[in-house]
Amino acid sequence: QKVFIINGPNLGILGKRQNNIYGNKTLNDIEDNLKIIATKNDIEIIHLQKNSEGEIVSILNEIYISYCDNSKSENLKRNLIGIIINPAAYTHTSIAIRDALEVFNETKVPIIEVHLSNIFSRETFRHKSYISPIATGVISGLGSYGYEAAIFKIIEMGKNA
Ligand code: DQA
């Protein structure tokens, strides 16, 4: 059973980027911790960080075609138990990423939107998320723990599916 974790632009420099807002952990630190949780719970995580909108859309399209397309077997469909996405700045601008995620709403695959910072306590342009209306859940302001919470929820949902 697989969980995809997709991180958007500028998250590759976490740990060196506005530490007061985003914390001291690097993306590798976050990934290593999530891998420990994944191993303990007998799931696999696939982590990708991309700076461009098109690449994120392509990845989501590929995930959909590989695991959720109706031509796929039920077994293969059950392999994908969730997607965790921090679309970073594209949260506030990207209809394309929203559309690419919305197709999963027809499947049982949960989509969890994660933000390290509390986007609602920051500039007003960050208050709007194109992604939240089509997400299963949204976590904002819990720092790197947000990814952990998301993975635990996906594991729980996967077990009850
Ligand atoms: C972010 C919040 C976004 O507004 C910002 O553009 C980011 C990171 C977060 O994780 O808090 O790059 O998604």
Atom of ligand 1 nearest to the CA of 86: 13
30 in contact with ligand 1, CB cutoff 6 A:
no
Atom of ligand 1 nearest to the CA of 114: 10
Q: Among 47-51, 70-74, 125-129, which is the least confidently predicted range?
A: 70-74
Average confidence (pLDDT) over 129-135: 98
37 in contact with ligand 1, CB cutoff 6 A:
no
| Mean pLDDT of the chain, nearest integer | 95
Indicate whether this complex's ipTM tops 0.95.
yes
Contact 130, 94 (CB under 8 A): yes
Give the predicted TM-score (pTM) of the model: 0.96
Residues 6+ apart with CB under 8 A from 100: 56, 57, 60, 61, 64
The residue nearest atom 8 of ligand 1, judged by CA position, is 88
What is the reported pLDDT for 77? 72
